Structure 1
């Protein structure tokens, strides 16, 4: 577990969900700098909680206190993103994140074998490559809080190892937080906390 105690994002009596019954109910929790896991079975509210933290979903009750450095959340699965090219997606995000790390994006694009796909539309990409577009943007964003929803699904072993190595280094960060939602705790990553839903 990380030794950092600097709170980066927190919830107070948070309840919410996409339906009439909240999947997240009365959650008061704080996340410090470092890497955190949110775990649970299908339908327990992992994605819902990330959307609430990002402001993508309005809470039914309670509140989320977010840092000045912003919360990065992105979902590229919808068809509305299909006509967008990889490069255009990154270029649009680059404008919104003042601490965007272009060198990191270039490094990740090369390591994750995405350079050759930069001018392709998202609809032309495999599920794994489409996920890589989101992951590269998330890690390069420079946001105070980066939310990753099942980041390893549909990825090859080399790509999974690259993301795990990044998170292992991120675990030592003193002012930023990465929150990974998945069925199981990510391996080989020193975690600041685990929240089971």
Structure 2
């Protein structure tokens, strides 16, 4: 299994694909080093607000990008949800809260586990455009785990599991 320092994980976009139960999530969790992985459902955090989730992530991430977070909040239509408790949000909105935090994290390796699931088309497009813009990043890696690699994205590497 590749690690965060393994040259098998180049900067840019890496797709990790496989069927249900093939080990995609386990593979993401096994990465070490400066890797940020977050369950996009935000389990056990129902009483927190999105603002609290982002504040906790910012405290963990030395290269946190507050300006990018604000851009993502506006683009993903999360402004009105900032101070609502997570249990009040739809599955898609909860996932957008987590995604906004991950994208703003500044982590060397950011893991996104099925990032498009439960998102509306406009939000999926925004996440896809963000990833496409990051495809040539010289130092950051975006590992996207899903059943299939989105053919609209310029992948640097594809890893098929199972």
TM range, smaller chain? over 0.9
**Do 1:9 and 1:32's aligned partners in 2 also have CA atoms closer than 8 Å?**
no
> In structure 2, do the counterparts of structure 1 residues 47 and 115 end up closer, same or farther at CA, with 3 Å as the change threshold?
same
Cα deviation, residue 10, structure 1: 4.3
Match of 2:60 in 1: 96
Aligned-partner Cα distance in 2 for 1:193–1:76: 23
Is the counterpart of residue 178 in structure 1 residue 142 in structure 2? yes
What are the ranges of 5 or more consecutive residues in structure 1 without an aligned counterpart? 1-6, 12-28, 54-63
What are the ranges of 5 or more consecutive residues in structure 2 without an aligned counterpart? none
> In structure 2, do the counterparts of structure 1 residues 125 and 188 end up closer, same or farther at CA, with 3 Å as the change threshold?
same
Give runs of aligned pairs for residues 145-156 of structure 1, distance below 5 A: 145-156=109-120
User: Counterpart of 1:187 in 2: which secondary structure?
Assistant: coil
RMSD in angstroms over aligned alpha carbons? 1.7
Choose between structure 1 and 2: higher helix proportion: 2
User: Counterpart of 2:142 in 1: which secondary structure?
Assistant: strand
Task: Report how many residues are paired.
Answer: 160
Runs (4 or more) in structure 1 with deviation over 4 Å come to none
Aligned-partner Cα distance in 2 for 1:182–1:10: 22
TM-score (ref. length: structure 2)? 0.93
Higher-Rg structure is 1
TM-score (ref. length: structure 1)? 0.77
